[in-house]
Each structure stands twice: as C-alpha cells, then as structure tokens.
Chains A and B, each alone.
Chain A
Amino acid sequence: MKKLKLVMVGNGMAGVRTLEELLKLAPDLYDITVFGAEPHPNYNRILLSPVLAGEQTFEEIVLNDLAWYQDNGIDLRLGRKVVDVDRRKRVVIADDGSSAEYDRLLIATGSNPFILPVPGNKLDGVIGYRDIADTEMMMATAKTHSHAVVIGGGLLGLEAANGLKMRGMDVTVVHLADWLLERQLDKTAGKLLQSALEARGIKFRLNTVTDELMDNGEGRVCAVQFKDGDVIPADLVVMAAGIRPNTELAEKAGIPCNRGILVNDTMQTYDPRVYSIGECANHRGIAYGLVAPLFEQAKVCANHLAQLGFARYQGSVTSTKLKVTGIDLFSAGDFMGSEGTETITLSDPIGGVYKKLVIKNDILVGGCLYGDTADGGWYFRQIKENANISEIRDHLMFGESALGDVGHQGQSSAANMPDSMEVCGCNGVCKGTIVKAIQENGLFSVDDVKKHTKAASSCGSCAGLVEQILISTVGGAADVKPKSEKAVCGCTELNHGQVRKLIREKHLTSLKQTMGELGWTSPDGCATCRPALNYYLISTWPGEAKDDPQSRLINERAHANIQKDGTYSVVPRMWGGVTNPSELRRIADVADKYNVPMVKVTGGQRIDLLGIKKEDLPGVWKDLDMASGHAYGKSIRTVKTCVGSEFCRFGTQNSTQLGIDLEHDLFNMWSPHKVKLAVSGCPRNCAEAGIKDVGIIGVDSGFEMYIGGNGGIKTEVAEFFVKVKTAEEVREYNAAFLQLYREEAFYLERTVHYMQRVGMDHIKKAVLEDEANRKALAARLQYALSFEQDPWKERIETPVLKKEFDRIPVVAVEEAAV
C-alpha cells in the first residue's frame, strides 16, 4: 500500500508530541515531512528559563535529537520557513523555494511574542522571549551590558527577569496591571511574590505604560520612556507582554482564523485535511499557551490522523507554576472567583504563605497557592475530577494530609522533601533520582517516571507522591489525569471505561477478538492489559467468554500466592472463619508431610501454609480436601465474623451463620479487585466491619450494611449503605452491590475507589431504590457464578490443568538424550 503523506509545519513540542503519539498508533501509515523555522531539533521550550538562569544547558533540554527523526524515517527540513500552502494542489512551499506535497497537513506554528506598537520597537537590543536564539542573545547581552528592562510581569517576563538578574544584570520589570501574574494570582499573592523578587534585587514599575524605546544614535536601544515621563536606562528590552497565535500561514492559505486557527474537537480546521494544534490553534474560543493542554490535543490529533477517530478534545483545566527556583506558587482553574463562588483564604504575610480556594456548589473550581504549594497537585486533582468537597470542607485548606488518613499515598510535602528521601519503598527510589530522571529525560507523566525509575511501579502507593514531585518539577506541563481518563496501558489509547463499554457493545468474547477490534498496538498485549481484559471479558459475558489462564498473573494461575523465594502459600477456605478438629488435623498432617516451613494464622480468620513448592500444590490441595480460600486472587477473599448470638452474651444476631452463608453466596467470585466482608453480631463490631468492602453490623432490629471500607494501603472507613431487617435481605443487597461493582468498576479498582468515582447516589439508585434492578443484579451474579467451580478441585481432577504444575525432571531429559 502506498503511504499517505503527512506534512507538519512547525517543529515544536506540541507538533512533535503528535508525531510521537501517531508513530505509536500507526507507525507505517505516513511518510512524514517536518518543516522547522529554527535550526534546532525539538527542544523543551518551557525549560528555556532554567537555561537562561544558568541552571541547565541547551543540550539538556533537547527532547528529540536528530537521530530520533532519522530513526523514524522523518524528512526533517530545519531552518526553512513555510511561506505558502496551495490547498488545491495540496502542497506547501518553503522560503527557499522547496516544496512538499501532502495528504494531511498539520499546522503547529505556535505563537509569536507580542511586540508593543511603540516607537523604537525595531531597535537592536529589543527582543521577544520565545526561542533558543532569543535566549542566546539575552545571555550574550548580559556579558556586555548592564541594564535590562522586561516589559510584562507575567510568567515568562518574571522568568526572564530572574534569569537576567542571575546573570548579573540590573533588571526592571514594567507591568501594566496592579500586580504581578494577574492571570495566575490574585492581588494578595501577587504582592507577596513581588516582595520576594524585590528581595532578590529585581525592580518593579507597576501600573506603568511604556511610551517609547529610545535610540542610542547607533540603532541600539539605550533607554525606555514611560507615559508618566520617567526615563530609565535600558541596553536590553525583553518584550514579554503576551503571545499571539501565529496564524500568518493559515490566514494566507485561506483557513478561517480568529485569535488562532479555528479547530474542532478532533483538531481539524475548516479544511478537514488540515489539522492544527498547539499555541496557534483556537479550540472553543481558547488558544492554550501551556504545555499540558497541548499534549492532550496532540493525543487527540494523533488518534484522528491514525484513522482511529474515537478521541475528542474537549478543553482543559490548566494549572501553572513559576519556574523561578526558590519561589513556590501554584494556581489552577478559576482562582479569582466569579458569580456564585465562595472562597476560603489562609493568609500569613509574615510567614510568606497565602492560600485561596474557590468553591462553587460544593465543588472546588480553582485555587491559588503561594509559599506552600505542597498540596497543589492534590487540589488540582480535585478540580479536574469535580470532586464533591462538602464533607471535607473543614479541612480542605490544610491539604490532604489533614484529612486524617493514616495511610501513605504521598500527601506529604513533595516540594519540601530532601533529595535523599525515599519515595518508593518497594523499589528503593529516592526523590533526587526521580527529579533527575524527569529533568534529563524530559518526562511529563507518572507512567514515564515509572518506566524510567521504577518508582510507583510495584504497589503503587507512592503514585500520588510521584505525581506531586512531577508537578513540582515541571509545573503545569505535568500530564496528570485521573485513572478513569488514562489509557489502560501502552498497548492502547482507550481507557478502562471505554474498553468495558466496547466489550459490551460489540459483544467481544475473546482476548484476540478484543485486541483486534479495538486496535491494540501489540500482538499479545502486556502484563498490564491482559489481566484486565480477561476480567472484563469473563465478567461481561459469563459462560460465553472463556477464561484465559495465560492472561492471569501467576497467583491466579497457580491458585496460590507466590513468595519471594518462588515457593507458594496455601490458604484453605474456612467458611465464616469456622473450622473443626478434622480440618485442623488434615492441615497439621499436610504441614508434616510436605515439610511446610511456616504455619500462620491470617488476618482473615484462617490458616496459611507457607513455603510450598509449586509441584506439591496439587498434592497439598488433595490432602487438605478443603475448598480454595482464594487468598491469592482479585476475588472474594473471606467473610470475617464475630462469635455472634450463638455464644456471645452481647450478640444480637447470628453473625457466624450469616458470614458462612455470604461466603457460600460469593464462592469463586472474580472481581475487579479483592473483596473482603465482615459480619458483626452487635454494635461492638468485633469483626471490624467498618474497614471491609461490605461490612454488616447486626443490631437488635436487623442489620446495618456498610460499603466501601478498606484497611490496606490507605485506611478508608466504610460508608453506611442501608439498614435491613432479615439475613435474606442482607444476602440479596450484598449480591446486588457486588455485581454492580463487578460490572462497572475498572480492573484493580477497590470498592472504595469505585464508589468515589461513581458516587454513592448512583449505587443507591441501582441497588436500593429499584427493586427489580436489585433482583436482576443478584440473579446475574448467581448466573455468573454457576459457571465457576473450585479451582483446586478442578486442578486435582483435570490432568491437563495439572500439567502446569509438573516439572520436567532432569532424569527424563538425560534418558531422552541417550
């Protein structure tokens, strides 16, 4: 097949990111030609300020070196500016007369600095701040001249001012508005920032209009005159008064523009062959100037170019961070507040801390932090997820760590951590290693950090902390998304919700079919997506989709828990935590017979036999003659019970019997993540039902049911769900809730996280308010479980399944060799 021709005009971060995404999706679809006006390969433009400040070098901020273009077969034409597009003939023409034909054109021309229309704006020494050439010019001027004036007190202007100051110049920032960063900070925070920068020796003139740039008689700027008549010396004038989308080429080509090239949700312009992304594009009235939204656009654009066409760009919430070492500020969303919003403010001018949170209808919509930005990432997540904060409002201001969680999800102050502090306890990765990897490799997402450093790649409990470190290192460019929006893994662009939906809608029943239909980019998937897909298939189409053991991780394949030395642990089921002398005797006999090195009582009221060799597993199961405890699976684990009314003098309900019944109800149930239950016979709650996925507390008049508790990485208290009268009702409500969870949750999403995502109201509507639906859900669970059988028994009785446990002995090998 002849390849299509893709031409990209502009060689910046947004454009090249689109190519990277496209190459991942459809490596062979296009012959790609790239025109870049600058003589450099793609570099990280947001790190120009650290270069100016002398903290990094140019080489360090290159994102794609020339070899990358070569390796991917991209025809890179540097130092050539495209001057015209003939859309009828589908050809672009560059300033050196060369041309390139296209089937698809991507305009990513970025933006130009806004140059004030004042006399003298064309003098030598007057520049914008946009690219490597500008930065080099500023660095050279700092060596030979002493007075710099920066026009514009926005992010870029302040970073330029700081850089020039660090290089020894006398710097004055001229700003039109009342306070600095008026688009990112409110007045109070702006004033705090100003004092901090003044302490570094930078001078400010606010509320000031520039009138003229004066000539030294040789065509170079020598002074700046203001409207009020004042004149200050200036050997260098940096215009940082905003950017203008660079639409020159698009306008010339007759493509509709209005403060940017107008694009739709698939990043196409009015000419559907022509796409535009980045700072030059205007999407729903906004031309974004920050990196994170541009990367989201890049993903969508690549998806459409790859002819997949299921991604849409619907705008972004942005956050910003000033890259001036030692000054912490963060803002996101609607930080000024508008009609219908409320604000919570914390102000400590002496301590240099100011925080403001803007809330609308119990949802955090914006925030502005100065001095202590440790919780910036967390607030940003709340804003993006539209989380309801009414219940945590009292503590909201003090950050996530004030919410009383005893767990370890990384809500400590990432910014204040020393480099030597360990972040990932599983893989022993320190903060310094992570920061270094982010800077050296130009990383923007937690997944990238995982790949490069291993941090957060095992238990994942430090992912939040890694995210914070990412945000505090690259600021608004950090690609942070809630799990519900993230792609399942590198093999696909689809997120978990989309995959679940498509499996249902397209009636997909096998892994192969699913990967084919949904455009998986790798033939067998990977260790992340295969277990998820396998679960989605068997839970969506019970009886139709066949379980694929090779797509289960080892514990669920071997039906035992792998230990560090490669041996396994075996936990037989003890229904409701109840056992008897005969079972205990068999356990003791097995422990003797197989030299089990450790016998331990688990937290789930049963007995664990540790250190069993894989080849012994079928024998152990046979001798135990007990059911699988599923202590190894994303499945029903145990139902913990207290003694209850049969023996306990306080007991009001027969909690052990209900526990046994519930455990039988759910036996062999696979689920998105592990599921644990508990039943207590009275409000003393000895079975600790408050930290279980489903917790039941017997009271005199019936049973209270709680859902979404979790005692693991982060302790979560279960929420009250419903009170019912009889044990039968408990069983029905329990089955219905867990089936809903099985059908709707994402793989590896515990009930608490599922609940936080869909909301308690949704669950109540489906299970409590709609009796028919409740019964249907419970019936579907029963139906699904009718296809399952005890995996241990299955493997003792079926030779084919037992094979996996047999080794090929060396004796046999030698005999065969003779």
Chain B
Amino acid sequence: MNWLDICALEEINVLGSRIVDGPKGDIAIFRTSNDEVFALDDRCPHKGGPLSQGLIYGKRVACPLHNWQIDLESGEALAPDVGCSHKYPVKVEGGRVLLALKTLSDCA
C-alpha cells in the first residue's frame, strides 16, 4: 500500500476534520475524541454534502446539509438512510497521519 504523509495529527482538531485535495475529488480526514482517524470521500451519499463540514461524535459524522448520519468506519449511512461514501485506508504513525490513495482505483 502506498502510504502518503498528509499532516501531523495535531493539525486536525479533536472532533474536527481537514480536506485533502484528492486526485478524484476531496477527501475528508476526521479525528475522533479518542484520536482515531478516518478518511472518506467528502461527499454525502444523499446530496453530495461535504461531510468534512459535519459535526463529529463517536465514530459518526452528521452531514451538514440534511443531517444524514454517516458511520466513519464503514462510510455507510445509518438507518433509515441508505448509501455509502467511499472509505480510504488511513493510519497514525509517530504523530503523522498517513493516507493510502492507491486503492482508489479498486473501488467503484
């Protein structure tokens, strides 16, 4: 896997996010309250709202446009909504946030 160094962990607010200029569109990087990091396409499966701008709680983000709840781990919308945002492998090593973009081509 081709890990890319994105930024330092502390450059993302706790319960906050940053946007990475991905090759196929924006990627949202989220940081939870216990410093876990997740990466999803910055598009809500509902109407394309920028998930990076949503409110984060637990391992979920609430879309800023219509309050769909998206699971950060899977990218899936919570019932009753149905839909999925593509997820990217991401990890924290030595205080740096690493993102794998290679798999983008594997997903549809």
Contact = CB atoms under 8 A, between A and B. Distances in A.
Interface of A: 426-427, 451-454, 457-458, 522-527, 530-531, 549-554, 557-558, 562, 564-566, 614, 803-804, 807-811, 813-814, 816-817
Contacts, number: 101
B53 A808 contact: no
Interface residues of B, number: 42
A457 B79 CA distance: 13
A807 B53 CA distance: 12
B33 A524 contact: yes
Contacts of B47: 564
Given A553-B55, A562-B53, A813 B4 contact: yes
B18 to A, nearest CB: 6
B89 interface: no
A810 B22 contact: yes
A522 B22 CA distance: 33
Contacts of A530: 55, 57
Interface string B55-87: 111100010111101000000000111000000
A524 B57 contact: yes
B18 A808 contact: yes
Given A427-B66, A457-B67, A816 B58 contact: no
Contact of A526 (B14, B62, B64): B62
List the 7 closest pairs (A to B, CB-CB), nearest first.
Answer: A527-B62, A810-B21, A524-B57, A550-B15, A816-B5, A554-B64, A566-B50
B21 A808 contact: yes
B67 A551 contact: no
A549 B55 CA distance: 10
26 contacts: A451-B79, A451-B80, A452-B80, A454-B80, A454-B81, A457-B67, A524-B15, A524-B58, A526-B58, A530-B57, A550-B56, A552-B55, A554-B53, A554-B54, A554-B55, A554-B64, A564-B65, A614-B53, A803-B11, A804-B16, A807-B19, A813-B4, A813-B5, A813-B6, A813-B20, A813-B99
B2 interface: yes
A550 B32 CA distance: 11
A811 B81 CA distance: 35
Contacts of B65: 562, 564
A807 B66 contact: no
A426 B20 contact: no
B13 A804 contact: yes
Given A550-B55, A562-B65, A817-B4, A809 B21 contact: yes
B4 A816 contact: yes
B65 to A, nearest CB: 7
Given A451-B80, A813-B99, A817-B5, 19 more contacts: A451-B79, A457-B67, A526-B62, A550-B56, A554-B55, A557-B53, A562-B50, A562-B53, A564-B47, A566-B50, A804-B16, A807-B26, A808-B19, A811-B21, A813-B5, A813-B101, A816-B4, A817-B2, A817-B3
A571 to B, nearest CB: 18
Nearest to B14: A550
Contacts of B32: 524
A614 B18 CA distance: 12
B67 A523 contact: no
